[in-house]
Chains A and B, each alone.
Chain A
């Protein structure tokens, strides 16, 4: 009874790829921005902060439309990027961009809290042992932030899997290119007799989410123990 068509498998594989790529690409930016927000004071910080959290509160359709205006084929940056071979519109990369933008506030939030919780006295200790600021960050701050990074990455991954509004607005719903699990379920519920197939995808979505949660719990606990010197 549980057999998926090639088309459905495609949607599952695409979802996983989009979620993984968007999370992986967003992660270094998320860490950098979380660090700046946690540690630096500068004029306009409140504004920057608000801008980063915007996708969390804006209707996803609005975010998707803004992405279309900015990165569409005739968009603000889209044309210039296309001339160097980077195209987002109606491509899976565009879906990844939309997911990354939507997940970014969650990623930054989790990592920022974790950086703020790092005991800065350990950084002093590193300095007396000869570590400059870069090495201190890489060998002390970052490892002590690891539980927050894992939590943030899982949140971002889950958010990317569930993304619908921004993606469908920005890159549409093209099977094999931009049709993720969510979009496929939506499409299946719109056609007669698609209910069973939709149910299959729903079950897969639940399974993927469960595996992600259990894995993050496990990694998080290990990282947490390490951070506490156990």
Chain B
């Protein structure tokens, strides 16, 4: 599915990560500052590795040896940022439609209804991002990433900015997402509970290196 072999020097910090993602949820687990976000940033195409390769479903999207470097906007990899990053100048409906506009695709009413129902955000469509709670914002960010029909979904500590009550409120949506939408996901987190609840597989990262790979009993 996803094969990653990445090297990147960031100041004094050097990142050297090699692992394979499978279907379901792969957790990138490790302390903050261990390089997890940089890894998925490189997968998404927002950061350029010094060397290495990224292959998704057999298609090479980055390879320093052959000079392949597909730009981020062509990768069709969904990204849910820690801070949501909903476009502040657009309504919720327009935020959700953004990916479809950019791809030039027609409106897929069934898919739109399915995602907004799954995430319980249908009643928010006419609001603006500033009027949403933290939990609602993350659900919309998740919906926006899903509606661009990605082939892989990257989740960068999507619950980290929320308090415990909000986390409990949102977790079920992620579980539903995992079970109902067959989409490979990489879930970055340093929270044992989140990873145990959600992940099929764990890649442990420390100081820019992959320490171990295994199932959730690892942690």
**A residues lining the B interface (CB < 8 Å):** 121-122, 124-132, 135-136, 139-140, 143-144, 146, 226-230
Contacts and interface: CB of A to CB of B under 8 A. Distances in A.
A122 B85 contact: yes
Contacts of A139: 98, 101
Given A135-B102, A140-B87, A144-B89, A229 B73 contact: no
A53 to B, nearest CB: 30
A42 to B, nearest CB: 21
Grouping DSSP codes into helix (H, G, I), strand (E, B) and loop, the A interface class, with mixed when no group exceeds half, is helix
Contact of B77 (A125, A128, A132): A128
Interchain residue pairs A-B with the least CB separation, the first 5? A229-B130, A229-B88, A130-B102, A229-B129, A127-B72
B108 to A, nearest CB: 15
A124 B44 CA distance: 10
A130 B87 contact: no
Contact of A128 (B72, B89, B128): B72
Contacts of A143: 89
Interface string B98-115: 110111000000000000
Contact of B78 (A122, A124, A128): A128
Contact of B102 (A124, A129, A227, A228): A129
A230 B81 CA distance: 20
Nearest to B102: A130
Given A126-B102, A128-B78, A131-B73, 17 more contacts: A121-B81, A122-B85, A124-B72, A125-B79, A125-B81, A126-B87, A127-B45, A128-B45, A128-B46, A128-B77, A129-B98, A130-B73, A130-B103, A139-B101, A144-B88, A227-B88, A230-B131
Among A126, A135, A146, A229, chain B packs the most CB atoms within 10 A around the CB of A229
Contacts of B209: none
A135 B78 CA distance: 18
Given A127-B46, A130-B73, A132-B71, A228 B88 contact: yes
Given A122-B87, A143-B89, A130 B71 contact: no
